[in-house]
Chains A and B, each alone.
Chain A
């Protein structure tokens, strides 16, 4: 038994399919570009990238190593942004890795949406590839979402130690609390994959029914 979608719905599904395909391709191309930039910056001896580091709320005093001057005497810094030169490859990779991982995650999820739209168009929404796409999307969001937070935290700590250590801005700053949202979204997508797997069974049982 196949499910025939009405024409307006079919046009919407076709549009979603096309949009998701384009977005997936663009995401993977962007991820490849960011990976290239990441590695070339990390291992380039003279290279440097803009980096933003949190600092303890400091009085606006001049910090000679950063050549930073306060604009008003009552201002306070909570973060500094500058071009980091001399950052070790390890710290650079840890800090900038999320910029490459995030578009990869976007691409994988877009591929999952594309797979679902294609199968809905074909009248087989509960096909095996759709279940696998949902499972992979859930794992991707949970995994990359959590990994990005850990990488950013470690990368920021290492960069602060390397670049701000020994300066008035090098004091201890608490790291951001762990955001559980990606894990919850990943679990939800996993449950949806289970629902689609059950739907596959129903579709199989109803095959050939008139």
Chain B
């Protein structure tokens, strides 16, 4: 996928992991998603996300969908 393809959605996975003191590796073990795919999500390179993935991540981080995914700011677009 091209690096400059902006989806308009920002994933706050980094911020939520920092707040909870959790590593990407630990989240990967809990959720059952590979570190590669979590990294794709974290760096806003994902183009689509399964509801099952969304549910698992929100359950692991004890957050709402709106805490995890937000509209990207105009400068990011």
A207→B46 CA distance, assembly (Å): 8
Q: Are A209 and B49 in contact (CB under 8 A)?
A: yes
Whether A208 is near chain B, meaning CB under 8 Å from some CB there, is: yes
Using CB atoms, name the residue of chain B closest to A209.
B48
How distant is B59 from chain A, measured CB to nearest CB, in Å? 16
Q: List A49-94 residues whose CB lies under 8 Å from chain B.
A: none
The interface-forming segment of B14-22, B33-41, B60-68 is B33-41
CB distance from A3 to the nearest CB of B (A): 13
User: Would you call the interface of chain A mostly helix, strand, loop, or mixed?
Assistant: loop
Report the Cα distance A210→B34, complex, angstroms.
Answer: 9
Residues of chain B with a CB closer than 8 A to A206's CB = 48
Q: How far is the CB of A81 from chain B (nearest CB, A)?
A: 63
Q: How many A-B residue pairs have CB under 8 A?
A: 24
Complex interface residues of chain A between 174 and 210 (CB less than 8 A to chain B): 206-210
Q: Tell me whether A210 and B1 are in contact (CB under 8 A).
A: no
Instruction: State whether the Cβ of B55 lies closer than 8 Å to any Cβ in chain A.
Output: no
A208 touches B50 (CB 8 A): no
- Is B10 in contact with chain A by the CB < 8 A criterion? no
For A210, the chain B residues whose CB sits under 8 A away are 33, 37-38, 40-41, 46, 48-50, 53
Contacts of B50 in A (CB 8 A): 209-210
Residues of B contacting A208 in the complex (Cβ-Cβ under 8 angstroms) = 1, 40, 45-48
CB distance from B31 to the nearest CB of A (A): 10
CB distance from A169 to the nearest CB of B (A): 70
Which residues on B sit within 8 Å (CB–CB) of A207?
1, 47
| Shortest 8 CB-CB contacts between residues of A and residues of B | A208-B47, A210-B37, A209-B48, A210-B46, A208-B1, A210-B41, A208-B46, A210-B49
List residues of B whose CB falls within 8 A of some A CB: 1, 33, 37-38, 40-41, 45-50, 53
Can you sample 10 A-B contacts with CB below 8 Å?
A207-B1, A208-B1, A208-B46, A209-B48, A210-B33, A210-B38, A210-B48, A210-B49, A210-B50, A210-B53
